[in-house]
Amino acid sequence: MKKHLILSQLALCASLAFAGVSVQAQEVKGSAQAAQGKVWLCVGCHSIPDYRADYPFTYKVPMLGGQNAAYIASALAAYKKGERKHPTMRSVAASLSDQDMADLGEYYAAQTASSPNNPLK
């Protein structure tokens, strides 16, 4: 009887651990609609054609409209982790959750380079 109880408890622990890993492994789904309230962080630089930022070096700021959503989210995550070095982008990305990054990726993927501020029109 005691052996059966121990095996039951082990099976329960294993299934709970597996369920936790499954939930954690699920990918965050982005929403272009949700990003509309978050994009103000980006448009000041990324919606200006041929814009160049000059701190601490001169950077040609890319237009983001039409970029792949996963690429945008991945780039933001790399800034947040310190794998990419631009100081302004690192500070902006540090304030973003994984959901924010996925939403911003979808927002810019829904656009073209010539429609940087109105992806849902």
Number of Cβ within 10 Å of residue 95's Cβ equals 10
Q: Which residues contact 71 (CB under 8 A, 6 or more apart)?
A: 105
In the DSSP assignment, the letter for residue 111 is S
Whole-structure pTM over 0.85, yes or no? no
Per-residue pLDDT of the chain (121 residues; tens, 9 = 90+): 555 545 455 444 455 444 443 344 458 999 999 999 999 989 888 888 888 887 767 888 999 999 999 999 999 999 999 999 889 999 999 999 999 999 999 999 999 877 655 444 4
Delineate the domains of the chain, giving CATH numbers in brackets.
28-109 (1.10.760.10)
From CA 81, how far away is CA 47, in angstroms rounded?
Answer: 25
Give CA 90 to chain center in angstroms.
13
In the DSSP assignment, the letter for residue 28 is P
